[in-house]
Structure 1
Amino acid sequence: MIETTRKHWLSMGMLLLLPLAGATYWQGKTAADGWMMDMTHKAGFVLSNLSIEGNARTPRNQILAQLDIDTGMPILAVNLGVIQNRIEALPWVKAASVKRVFPGDIKIEITEREPFAIWQLNQSHFLIDSEGVIILEHGLSVFSGLPLLVGKGAPDAAPQLFSMLAGQSVLGKYVRTAVRVGERRWDLLFANGIRLKLPADEDLNYNSNDAWLRFSRLEANHSLLAREVNVIDVRLHDQLVMRLTPRGKKLIDGKQLAA
């Protein structure tokens, strides 16, 4: 009974001292650290449970390998910042939250990246998210249905591209490949093979977003993607250039290409 009461008051006292203990620990005061770790251990503030949430694509054992902690260690000895940084270095992890829940729990909440496109650079392929961040380099066959980005600088320009396409989502969903040209502009390839040439992204007077909006209006009014063309060029704000397919050239004298 005396021992139980002693532990109770020791635990209560430690709860009051925890903020001070944390500050003392992280300031690197070795002697005080050792005393405080010993006191927290005696009071029962030791790691007894670890919970991990949000890891749909990141295996639990891969996360555990980053932690370097053991059940029974003083909970104040768990370096939350180090654990967070290690977990966020994992391929699928976008962000991680690591918290102590006294007396003995560590709670990890993970936000994972969503696969959005495949980036091709020369002969190499990478899985990227909507922010253009590389997730994986191998085992990409399961993601073969995602849009393809091609060329140097494509991931850096991808967020702006994805935002632009989402603005006209009905039309944007038919884009299968986006080719980065000269790290300045995009060529978009639709599911039917037609290539749309857009102007440079940074042009203040007429940029890629302006051209995309213009093309969406033309498509709505004239069904350009249903025509016998293989290239539609909207790089100039006052011109529309279309290259005919071989069949389209044969039909040039007919009414099939009439507006």
Structure 2
Amino acid sequence: MRALTARRNASARADSRADPAPSRLKYRIQRWMLTPGIRTGLRLGLPICVVLAAAGGYLASETRRAHLVDLYTEARTAFETRPEFMVNVMAIDGAGDSVAADIREVTSLDLPRSSFDLDLAAIRDLIVGLDPVKTAAVRIRPGGILQVDVVERAPAIVWRSRDGLALLDDTGAFVAELGQRSLHPDLPLIAGRGADKKAVEALRLFATARPLGARLRGLIRVGERRWDVVLDRGQRIQLPVERPVAALERVIAMSEVKDLLERDVAVVDLRLPTRLTVRMNAPAVEDWWRIRELNESSF
């Protein structure tokens, strides 16, 4: 009996020692390791940290960093200076000789040059900044050609100011200085301070005054507010501030019907839109007084 009981007690102690159930600490660690975030961190984060630590240790040396920078610079330079990326010449279309020379001077490009070193937007801004250039397009054509397509401003009007004569386009933008009026006798003439800012209105007035033909000499801006139309024989048409085109049409229509501008009239004053005032020439006034005196003496 004792032997059987002893064997049972020994077997119970052996079973208790071989219990496969983990301890509470091991159980918590295993549950923690099964967490998706921890598993991802161990699978990805740990290798990344090891690589970053190794890279940081390698780059801690200034000599190694300088060597890497040199290698990168050499590789980039070798790639950017390949023949297919080199710009060798500049081609300019749509510009005259003088404007083309100004474009080459203002851009100051040292060719051949890598296309990676060219700022096309900045080059375009430099070209458009020239007074004679209205618009410009810059692109790189196959074959290493920097293509510049230019649209020049077309002179539409001559402006006489204190600084001399200047050419303006149909928007009033400055085109170029003009040495002599005889260089562009076909262009209409405006004068006065601020006349360039009203070039569009001036061109409409010139179009309206076309029936006057060669008698029209030009327009003068008065007080930066209104226009005077200057004709031959010293005649002037003083236009109002508001609706000057309509006022000029009225005078021209009246002249065609009653030959107003063919008479000895010095000034036709339309500054008051509701009233037309006419000022005669001095000889015409003297003749009028003489005729009046003769009529009074006859009675």
TM-score of the aligned structures, taking structure 2 as reference length: 0.62
- Please give the residue correspondences for 1:152-171 in structure 2 after superposition, counting only pairs within 5 Å: 152-171=193-212
Gaps of 5+ in 1: 1-30, 255-259
RMSD: 3.0
- Please give the residue correspondences for 1:205-220 in structure 2 after superposition, counting only pairs within 5 Å: 207-220=243-256
Q: CA contact under 8 A between 2:132 and 2:174: conserved in structure 1? A: no
Question: 2:174 matched to 1:134?
Answer: yes
Q: CA contact under 8 A between 2:267 and 2:278: conserved in structure 1? A: yes
Q: CA contact under 8 A between 1:52 and 1:109: conserved in structure 2? A: yes
Q: CA contact under 8 A between 1:37 and 1:76: conserved in structure 2? A: no
Aligned partner (choices 176, 187, 204) of residue 217 of structure 2: 176
Q: For 2:73 and 2:159, locate their aligned partners in 1 and report how far apart those are by CA, in whole Å.
A: 49
| Alpha-carbon displacement from aligned partner over 1:86-116 (angstroms, at most 9, x marks no partner) | 2222232222221221241211121222223
Match of 1:69 in 2: 109
> Could you tell which deviates more after superposition, 165-174 or 190-199?
165-174
Aligned partner (choices 256, 262, 265) of residue 226 of structure 1: 262
Q: For 1:76 and 1:175, locate their aligned partners in 2 and report how far apart those are by CA, in whole Å.
A: 56
Gaps of 5+ in 2: 1-70, 293-299
Among the aligned pairs, what percent are the same residue?
26
For CA contacts below 8 A with separation 6 or more, give which structure has more relative contact order.
1
| Alpha-carbon displacement from aligned partner over 1:148-188 (angstroms, at most 9, x marks no partner) | 32222111122122123224533477432222112111111
- How many aligned positions are there? 219
Aligned partner (choices 278, 282, 287) of residue 242 of structure 1: 278
Relative to its length, the structure with more helix (as a share) is 2
Question: 2:226 matched to 1:190?
Answer: no
Q: For 2:99 and 2:237, locate their aligned partners in 1 and report how far apart those are by CA, in whole Å.
A: 41
- 1:39 deviates by 2.4
| Alpha-carbon displacement from aligned partner over 1:48-89 (angstroms, at most 9, x marks no partner) | 332211213634322211223233212232221222122222
Q: For 1:230 and 1:91, locate their aligned partners in 2 and report how far apart those are by CA, in whole Å.
A: 39
Larger radius of gyration: 2
Match of 1:99 in 2: 139
| Alpha-carbon displacement from aligned partner over 1:89-144 (angstroms, at most 9, x marks no partner) | 22322222212212412111212222233333346443322222233346345546
- 1:43 deviates by 4.7
